[in-house]
Amino acid sequence: MQNYTTLVTGANGFVGNALCATLLDRGYVVRSAVRENEAVVASNIVCVKVGEICGQTDWTQALLGIDMIIHLAARVHVMNDTVVNPLKEFRRVNTAGTLQLARCAAASGVKRLVYVSSIKVNGEETYGGKKFSEADTPAPLDAYGVSKLEAEQGLREIALQTGMEVVIIRPPLIYGPGVKANFAVMMRWLKSGVPLPLGAIHNQRSLVSLDNLIDFLVTCLRHPAAANQTFLVSDGEDVSTTELLHRLGHVLGCQARLVPVPASWIKLGALTVGKQDLVQRLCGSLQVDIEKSRLLLGWSPPISLDEGLSRTVLSDDERVQ
């Protein structure tokens, strides 16, 4: 196997750290691009500081000798954004920053760029068991999703103009060792034994474990059929919030104390306190169809949802000790 030299942006993040380790294990030569104030990822990875990621970033040194790129770096979605113009900030990093990297990469002879976008490009919720697919008309509802869609559109144009291959991947919620945000909060709730009003939620949500996502990213880095395609990715098993909490409680070794409050009551309560976004994630459905990945790439999730939850919990326990 040829040892492709791969640039990973966002290498210090939740996905990036684990991705770099997997690439090294599989024989890739890895280089990371980090901002000025970020630490070096690992001693056996060449690290290049590129400064702020925007439309003027100088990628020259980071791209020397690079064959392929996995672009993870982004301004991520936050629940309570405090900036005056969120869309402007998201566009500056996620759209202009991504397209600047792509233009520089094409000029440097990079063969393929794998872009980690977001399921938010499709929308926020699915209904009636109909799953999001790659063929759907994009319908982002927030500034983050809009910036990701605009980056995708620009990348496709650059691919057409330059011949550099582009692969776009839209993951749903990612969980795994080191997960933070809402998933970590759920684990703390369960461990505390606090009763939760989530015992009668009959939604369906797709998740993707860190291990499954990384395996898919590496597949898309090399597979000939992935060129210039867009993919959705998940664990291949959808669960309700109620079932997820029960299964997560099982691997945590504690019983999930769930009170069967109707979802309509929860949504009404959320409306009065301004927590509609959080409740939408807990009570709404968001399902993705990964059939294209199975058929075109021959890819299936290597680990199950329960195995992904177990690895997440084991890692969390190790950090506590």
pLDDT tens track for 22-80? 999 998 999 988 876 666 556 677 788 888 898 999 999 999 999 999 999 998 866 55
Domain containing residue 75: CATH number: 3.40.50.720
Nearest-angstrom CA–CA distance, 127 and 287: 9
Pair of tokens at residue 208: 């993707």
> Does a structural domain hold residue 39?
yes
> Does a structural domain hold residue 118?
yes
Nearest-angstrom CA–CA distance, 214 and 148: 20
Nearest-angstrom CA–CA distance, 24 and 242: 38
This model's pTM is above 0.95: no
> Does a structural domain hold residue 110?
yes
For residue 181, the one-letter residue type is A
Nearest-angstrom CA–CA distance, 11 and 38: 10
Where is 86: in which H helix or E strand? helix 86-90
Nearest-angstrom CA–CA distance, 68 and 19: 14
> Does a structural domain hold residue 58?
yes
Q: What is the pLDDT of residue 153?
A: 98
Angle at the Cα of 122 from the Cα atoms of 96 and 198, rounded to 5 degrees: 120
Q: What is the pLDDT of residue 113?
A: 98
Instruction: Give burial (CB, 10 Å; 0-12/13-18/19+) of 321.
Output: exposed
Q: What is the pLDDT of residue 271?
A: 67
Nearest-angstrom CA–CA distance, 29 and 94: 26
Catalytic residue among 28, 115, 144, 175: 144
Q: What is the pLDDT of residue 1?
A: 47
> Does a structural domain hold residue 200?
no
> Does a structural domain hold residue 241?
no
Residue burial 255-272, b: 16+ Cβ < 10 Å; e: rest: ebbbeeeebeebbeebee
Q: Where in the sequence is the domain holding 43, given as residue range(s)? A: 5-170
Cα→Cα distances 33→118, 152, 236, Å = 21, 21, 32
> Does a structural domain hold residue 235?
no
- Residue 144 among the catalytic residues: yes
Contact between residue 49 and residue 24 where contact means Cβ atoms under 8 Å apart: no
Contact between residue 14 and residue 75 where contact means Cβ atoms under 8 Å apart: no
Contact between residue 104 and residue 141 where contact means Cβ atoms under 8 Å apart: no
Q: Which residues of the chain have pLDDT under 50?
A: 1, 319-321
Q: What is the pLDDT of residue 267?
A: 76
Contact between residue 202 and residue 263 where contact means Cβ atoms under 8 Å apart: yes
User: How many domains in the chain?
Assistant: 1
> Does a structural domain hold residue 201?
no
